[in-house]
Structure 1
């Protein structure tokens, strides 16, 4: 019931906004264009500032590149492992041979982090 109420409230607000935009366009087209241009400039400035200050640092970018490389290697290794494994074994000899095989190494790769950096802890 609550979802239906909020849906109708949002729908009402959208309808009122559409009516306001149409009336502004009809009564004052020049003012409407100025208003839209002003909004576009403000949104553009905010977008530029967010992009500028939220760029990843070079060390973070390096870590991300290392993670992608390790993920690609592990995915490749996992896919080749899946394709080479037969789905059905017919002989008992092949079962005993499979048990004797050593387990493959893990498909995970260690990614170097910032191990030398001290944690910022408050002392009491």
Structure 2
């Protein structure tokens, strides 16, 4: 617990001194401050590009198949004429006052309309050969 307090106090002191130093440099020589910030940004960008190009983990073939399938699924769901399932807004959730014609309110859509919108699923190959370990008695 004491170590946490010491570390947090030291970090606070370093931040305060840093803000004082940046404020002093901004007041005395703002051009130099902006040049330093520009160089820090350029070097950070160079290191980021080097990391992304050379050190980023490569995408496996299984991940590529998954992404391709997910994109195809999105395109299928966004086709025109399809009715996406949208949650009703708060205005649509208002209670309807019962009218004299109760049969209109209690009328349900037919089941065939519900079943016509069956989802189109694609099987993604996975690790099927691995067997589960069973407990020995």
**TM-score calculated relative to the size of structure 1:** 0.45
Structure having the larger proportion of residues in helix = 1
**TM-score calculated relative to the size of structure 2:** 0.43
